[in-house]
């Protein structure tokens, strides 16, 4: 199995993503939020690139969610905080979401064979899905404004670690996975800080920015590992929750 970790959306070349399974990660906060919405019973999540697209897709009973500059978009029902996406808000509903980096990463992966949504919350489920789907995998860190973000890189390392563990448990022998150099770096960075994930996320650029804007609880929530056993895929432009075991 070949696993290529890509540091940010800007670094992804079309050939790195097409005909592969692509895992898209935007820990703070887009993919954590989408996963939370689905885990809380949301019928489907529709990620779109622009505010205009989101508004044009709105029908009765759908919710609009997302952010620009980390803040809720005027006229939208929900922001980009996973803590807003409670069952009573989203159960049974379609949520149309637009965010700065995460939805852009999903669009960039449009030529992939499969697109899986990953975060720390569902790392194990995500790794199990990857192992089922493909031998050629790209893990795309969304990053922030075309720069690498530590939380996405550490999450890529965590998912790589879960993948190795899963493959080894399944075969009974050490997993044969070939990582690119950046993937090896992220795997090792994750292993070094795995017992201080929350503090590390609070000290990286986005962790500090969100804390300053009053979203520290979001950072604490998104730093949790393997709390959600779903591995949603983007099919026909929409995400639906698929339990890890299916």
Interface positions with a copy of itself (CB under 8 A): 7, 147-150, 153-154, 180-182, 184-186, 188-189, 191-193, 200, 203-205
Instruction: Identify which of residues 205 and 229 has a Cβ nearer to a copy of itself in the complex.
Output: 205
- What stretches of the chain show up as alpha helix (H) in DSSP? 14-17, 30-39, 51-57, 87-90, 102-108, 123-133, 150-171, 181-193, 197-203, 205-212, 216-222
Instruction: Identify which of residues 65 and 118 has a Cβ nearer to a copy of itself in the complex.
Output: 118
Instruction: Identify which of residues 28 and 96 has a Cβ nearer to a copy of itself in the complex.
Output: 28
What are 63's two structure tokens? 């919710």
Beta-bridge partners for 234: 239
Instruction: Identify which of residues 36 and 206 has a Cβ nearer to a copy of itself in the complex.
Output: 206
Cβ of residue 157: shortest distance to a copy of itself, in angstroms? Answer: 9
Cβ of residue 218: shortest distance to a copy of itself, in angstroms? Answer: 18
Rounded CA-CA distance 206/200 in Å is 11
What are 205's two structure tokens? 């650029």
Instruction: Identify which of residues 185 and 242 has a Cβ nearer to a copy of itself in the complex.
Output: 185
Place of tokens 């070349």: 13
Task: Using alpha carbons, list the distances in angstroms from residue 102 to 47, 82, 97.
Answer: 9, 14, 10
Cβ of residue 192: shortest distance to a copy of itself, in angstroms? Answer: 4
Question: Please, what is the Cα angle at 82 between 146 and 156, to 5 degrees?
Answer: 45
Which of 158, 169, 152, 164 is CA-nearest to residue 191?
Answer: 158
Rounded CA-CA distance 209/145 in Å is 14
Instruction: Identify which of residues 132 and 196 has a Cβ nearer to a copy of itself in the complex.
Output: 196
What are 224's two structure tokens? 């949790």
Instruction: Identify which of residues 209 and 216 has a Cβ nearer to a copy of itself in the complex.
Output: 209
Cβ of residue 11: shortest distance to a copy of itself, in angstroms? Answer: 8
Beta-bridge partners for 114: 21
Cβ of residue 182: shortest distance to a copy of itself, in angstroms? Answer: 5
Cβ of residue 14: shortest distance to a copy of itself, in angstroms? Answer: 16
Cβ of residue 76: shortest distance to a copy of itself, in angstroms? Answer: 28
């Amino acid at each position: 199995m070949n696993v290529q970790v890509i540091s940010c959306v800007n670094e992804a070349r079309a050939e790195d993503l097409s005909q592969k399974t692509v895992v898209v990660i935007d820990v703070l906060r887009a993919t954590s939020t989408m996963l939370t919405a689905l885990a809380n019973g949301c019928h489907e999540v529709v990620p779109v690139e622009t505010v205009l697209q989101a508004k044009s897709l709105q029908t009765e009973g759908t919710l609009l969610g997302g952010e620009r500059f980390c803040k809720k978009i005027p006229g939208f029902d929900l922001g980009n905080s996973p803590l807003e996406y409670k069952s009573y808000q989203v159960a049974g509903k379609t949520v149309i979401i637009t965010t700065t980096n995460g939805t852009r990463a999903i669009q960039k992966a449009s030529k992939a064979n499969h697109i899986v949504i990953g975060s720390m919350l569902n790392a194990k489920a995500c790794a199990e899905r990857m192992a089922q789907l493909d031998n050629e995998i790209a893990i795309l860190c969304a990053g922030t404004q075309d720069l690498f973000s530590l939380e996405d890189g550490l999450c890529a390392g965590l998912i790589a670690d879960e993948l190795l563990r899963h493959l080894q448990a399944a075969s009974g022998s050490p997993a044969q996975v070939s990582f690119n150099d950046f993937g090896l770096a992220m795997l090792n960075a994750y292993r070094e800080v795995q017992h201080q994930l929350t503090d590390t996320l609070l000290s990286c650029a986005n962790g500090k920015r969100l804390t300053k804007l009053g979203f520290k609880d979001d950072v604490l929530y998104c730093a949790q590992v393997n709390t959600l056993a779903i591995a949603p895929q983007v099919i026909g432009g929409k995400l639906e929750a698929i339990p890890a075991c299916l």
